[in-house]
Amino acid sequence: MAILAVLVLAADQFSKQLVLQHLEPGVAVPVAGEALQFVLVFNPGAAFSLGEGVTWIFTIAMAIVAGVIVFLAATRVRSRLWAVVLGLLLGGVLGNLADRLFREPGFAVGHVVDFILTPWMWFWTPNAAIYNVADIFIVGGMAAVALLLVIGIELDGTRGATRDAPVAAESVADADAGATADADAGPADTDPAVADPAAPAAPAKDAD
C-alpha cells in the first residue's frame, strides 16, 4: 500500500511541476481538441473553488483522512484489494495535502495546482471544474471504497455473509444434536394404565 501511495504522490507532484514550468496561468492549451485541455490554475478551495477563504480547514481535513487511512492499514486491513484501493486513495490525498502545506502563499494555506480540463464531463458548462492527477485518484479511490462496501467485502477480505456462515452452521449443528439426544432418550415416563401387549395375561380367578 505504501508503495502505491508514494507512486501516486510522485506522479501528481511531477505532473504539477511540469505544468508550472511550461504553462502560463489561465491559458488553455488543447490536448485533444476541446475535450481535453490543460489550463494552469491555483485553487485555494475545494472543487469549483468552493471555500476559498478557509483553506486551512481543507488542510486539516486532508490530514485527518490521511491519518485514518494509515491507521486502518496498520491495524485492520488484511485484504490485498483493500490495500490497493486505500493506497491509491492515500496517494491522491497526500498529493493535494503537499500543495496545501508547501506551496504559496504559505504553510497550511497553500493553493493546489490544477490543470486538467475536460468540459464534456461537466456537460460543457462554463464553470467546469479543473482538476489534477491527485483528484483522479481521490475520486476513483472513493468510488472503489463505496463499491467494496456495497458488495460486502470487509477490510480483512471476508464477505459479510461468509463471516456469519460459521456462526449459523454452529447453531444448526447444536439444534440437530439436541434433537438427536431427545430422540435417543425416549419418553421419560410410561403410563401404567396402558398395558404392554407383549406381556402375558394374568390368570383369571375362579369364582366361589
pLDDT in tens, 174-204: 656 555 555 555 555 545 444 455 555 555 5
pLDDT tops 90 at residue 45: no
Q: Does some domain include residue 85? A: yes
Cell of 23: 504553462
Report the number of distinct structural domains present in the chain.
Answer: 1
Region 90-113: what's the mean pLDDT?
95
Region 132-152: what's the mean pLDDT?
96
Q: Does some domain include residue 199? A: no
Sheet order of strands, 130-131 included:
29-32, 36-43, 112-117, 130-131
Region 68-84: what's the mean pLDDT?
95
pLDDT tops 80 at residue 41: yes
* Helix, strand, coil share (%) of the chain residues, nearest 5: 55, 10, 30
Q: Does some domain include residue 28? A: yes
d(CA 4, CA 8) in angstroms, rounded, equals: 6
Q: Looking at residue 171, what is its pLDDT?
A: 55
Cell of 135: 483528484
pTM above 0.85, yes or no: no
Region 94-100: what's the mean pLDDT?
96
Which runs of E-coded beta strand occur in 125-200?
Answer: 130-131
- Identify the band that residue 122 occupies on the pLDDT scale cut at 50, 70 and 90: confident
Catalytic residues: 114, 135
Q: 139 is in which domain, residue-wise?
A: 2-45+52-159
Q: Does some domain include residue 174? A: no
Q: Does some domain include residue 176? A: no
Q: Looking at residue 208, what is its pLDDT?
A: 43
d(CA 17, CA 14) in angstroms, rounded, equals: 5
Q: Does some domain include residue 178? A: no
Q: Does some domain include residue 164? A: no
Q: Does some domain include residue 76? A: yes
